[in-house]
């Protein structure tokens, strides 16, 4: 019943998300046990203007 | 001051959200006490391509 | 696959948590559809000294 | 390595978010120590129709 | 700057958590790119009496 | 109605948490508007063995 949440910068493709769900699920089962069927993964895409680091917006710090 | 968060697949109507807020708030007060006025509910709509279950994207597993 | 999270002041009994899980699950299904089997509820007990409201710790504002 | 998350009604400007990241980071360091460089802030804009208070949708309770 | 959160039943050892952090971080970088240095992982151990599934407490449903 | 959550290493005193709630609330109001009365702050103390950075547990990376 584990739940894994990922917050990351917006911009990954569906293929990357598909791989991410697969690999995080496998990683969880390998390290902590349980079955893949029970693992949930919820991905949140975050805009750079909604993420701050070191007191600065990431949209200012890491412009595209 | 309780906070209830709901993550669910995108696609519910405003009427369903209105009912959800009302019924979750009543359920909380009935089971745990307190007053409805103090209860917050925050709803997050999640795309099926941002939700994984059993190592697969829900957009692959449960196509519309 | 909905996930419901509850943050509330520490101190509810297991019986209250049992009722809370049951009633929140029923409330979700009644308002938003789906099946009870797919609903997860995760409860977080929060100490009053870890909750602030109006700029004050709740342990100061609402002493036991 | 502290992580600060903010959920607030949608509608703040980028300038307000820039100020928010700066001021929350400074507030954290002033009150709890550490360095600004290590502080992360993640902002979530929430629609009024996704926020309930007192059993009502905020879009009903506080129309624009 | 990605943040990965894991909620799972209480009871894993520090060795399992060490492996979990390593494997989730590698999984993220492999699937989504970026560097391991930027990945944060936050683990939350959840009591079975704080987790509900299908309307029942997991402490009732899956007793130890 | 904004909600601010803070995840930080365990070990701050109640006085530091009191200051943190006060200063984060003031910072929010100064940068984003609204009233202090409406701001909630929820603090989560995280063990170093539940926090990973760069693929390592913080309890290994930053021993006390």
> Is the pLDDT score of C64 beyond 90?
no
Q: Is B39 helix (H, G, I), strand (E, B) or coil?
A: coil
For the stretch A27-47, pLDDT in tens is 999 999 999 999 999 999 999
Candidates E60, E57, E18, E24; CA nearest to E39 is: E24
The interface pTM score, or ipTM, of the predicted complex is 0.97
The predicted-structure confidence for E28-62, as pLDDT tens digits, reads as follows 999 999 999 999 999 999 999 999 999 999 999 99
Contact F42 C59 (CB under 8 A): no
Q: What is the 3-state secondary structure (H, E, C) of chain E?
A: CCEEEEEEECCCCHHHHHHHHHHHHHHHHHHHCCCHHHCEEEEEEECHHHEEECCEEHHHHCCC
Query: What mean pLDDT do residues D41-63 have?
Result: 97
* pLDDT computed for residue F19 by the predictor: 98
Spacing of C-alpha E62 from chain mean position: 19
Nearest alpha carbon to residue C21 among C4, C35, C38: C4
Nearest to D40 among A49, A53, A59 (CB): A53
Chain E residues touching residue A2 (CB < 8 angstroms)? 6-9
Among chain D residues, the shortest Cα distance to A52 is held by D41
A36 annotated active-site: no
| Mutate: best of D7, D46, D48, D50, partner B, most B CBs <10 A | D50
Distance from CA of D4 to the nearest CA of A (A): 9
Q: What is the pLDDT of residue A64?
A: 83
Minimum distance, in Å, between the CA of residue C29 and any CA atom of chain F: 26
What is residue D6's predicted lDDT score, i.e. its pLDDT? 98
In the structure, what pLDDT confidence band is assigned to residue E1 with cuts at 50, 70 and 90? Answer: confident
Q: Which residue positions in chain F have pLDDT lower than 70?
A: none
Q: Please, what is the average pLDDT of chain D?
A: 97
Question: B23 and C31 in contact by Cβ < 8 A?
Answer: yes
Q: Give me the domains of chain C, ranges plus CATH numbers.
A: 3-61 (3.30.429.10)
Q: Do F31 and D23 touch (CB under 8 A)?
A: yes
pLDDT at residue E61 in the model: 96
CB-CB: which of E49, E51, E56 is closest to C14?
E49
């Amino acid at each position: 019943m584990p739940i894994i949440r990922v917050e990351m910068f917006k911009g990954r493709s569906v293929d990357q998300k598909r791989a991410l769900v697969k690999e995080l699920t496998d990683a969880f089962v390998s390290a902590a046990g349980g079955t893949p069927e029970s693992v949930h993964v919820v991905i949140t895409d975050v805009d750079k203007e909604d993420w701050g680091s070191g007191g600065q917006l990431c949209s200012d710090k890491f412009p595209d």
